[in-house]
């Protein structure tokens, strides 16, 4: 079992910045990939960014070169720094961890944190 706790969402004006955090607990050693997805109203959930246990980062189109994913391995935490936010970035942001133990694969999700970009 992996438990994910997100923080850092909120209301921000266009052009502003936010940093989301996701702390993992439980069977940390089974996590192979960790990262962020988002879901805007009426839209499908989409990839924002992920990082593998080896440190390789993949950004989705939604990151738009304005988001940066980082990790503090000692704290079992990943961060999503979001700069120059626009209303199109408004969504619920979900932390995700993908685990694989002896080919038993599982997706774990946080509860989501709302990001609203509005003036």
- pLDDT value of residue 46: 96
pLDDT band with cut points at 50, 70 and 90 for residue 60: very high
**Burial of 82 per CB tally in 10 Å (0-12, 13-18, 19+):** buried
pLDDT of residue 101: 87
Residue 65 — very low, low, confident or very high, per pLDDT cuts 50/70/90? confident
Q: What is the pLDDT of residue 98?
A: 95
Q: Using one digit for the tens of pLDDT, what is the confidence trace for 68-104?
A: 999 999 999 999 999 999 999 999 999 999 999 888 8
Distance from the Cα of residue 104 to its chain's centroid = 23
Burial (0-12, 13-18, 19+ Cβ within 10 Å), 59? middle
């Amino acid at each position: 079992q992996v438990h994910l706790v997100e923080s850092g969402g909120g209301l921000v004006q266009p052009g502003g910045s936010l940093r989301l955090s996701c702390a993992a607990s439980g069977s940390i050693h089974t996590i192979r990939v960790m990262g962020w997805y988002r879901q805007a109203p009426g839209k499908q959930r989409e990839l924002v960014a992920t990082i593998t246990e080896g440190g390789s980062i993949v950004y989705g189109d939604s990151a738009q070169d304005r988001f940066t994913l980082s990790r503090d391995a000692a704290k079992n935490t990943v961060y999503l720094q979001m700069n120059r936010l626009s209303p199109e970035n408004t969504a619920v942001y979900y932390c995700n961890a993908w685990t694989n133990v002896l080919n038993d694969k599982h997706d774990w999700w946080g509860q989501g944190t709302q990001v609203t970009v509005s003036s």
